Amino acid sequence: MIYHIINKSIADFVIFNNDEEFLRMAMAIRYYRSEKPIMSLSQFLKLAQPIYEKGEPCSVNILAYCLMPTHIHLMIKENNDKMASKFINDTLNSYTRYFNMKHKRKGPLWEGKSKKNKINSDEQLLHTTRYIHLNPVTAYIVNKPEDWPYSSYREYMNKIDDKDRICKYSNEIDMDPSEYKRFAEEQIPYQRELAQIKARMTIV
């Protein structure tokens, strides 16, 4: 099964305030995707360049992701039955513990259960990755998706070293970087317009 997973912070609270916090979430995603981690999370976080073997067994494959200041998008492929929920729960709980300790707060950080949408076709998969990657552009945080360092778009553009990659999507998406770049960026005006319409409807 392939899913698009979304979770937001409570009351749109900013949960990623700086590079350190964005990186901590990215590291949690890398760690908890593994079926049988070869070390503890604390050891994993201490490594300058945390690297697993290329053939590491993963309970889920990350196909795309985007970390936004108040929410996250993940597209994952479930390799083992019912592992998607465990992966997302472990990842979110890990970040909550880190964030609460760092900011001396208590209580939940995320808005309840994650929204999980099943991907039913190759076309839906491709269009959803584009939607995920355009989130920072739609929100006018950056003008181009490649300018946002906290998503998998740079991986799709082959601008990330192999050792730093989080995603494994080659078996699901067959599109060269230049083609994907055109596919993504041609949608920017429409996605921004659609977001503005939704915002106006919400206000009304």
2-203 classified as CATH 3.30.70.3340: no
Indicate the Cα dihedral angle 73, 76, 80, 81, nearest 10°.
60
The pLDDT score that the predictor gives to residue 165 is 86
The pLDDT score that the predictor gives to residue 52 is 52
The pLDDT score that the predictor gives to residue 17 is 95
Strand partners of residue 5: 74, 116
Backbone CA torsion sign across 57, 83, 126, 161: negative
Low-confidence ranges of the chain (pLDDT < 50): 53, 204
The pLDDT score that the predictor gives to residue 51 is 52
Report field, pTM of the whole predicted structure over 0.75: yes
The pLDDT score that the predictor gives to residue 59 is 84
The pLDDT score that the predictor gives to residue 139 is 93
The pLDDT score that the predictor gives to residue 73 is 97
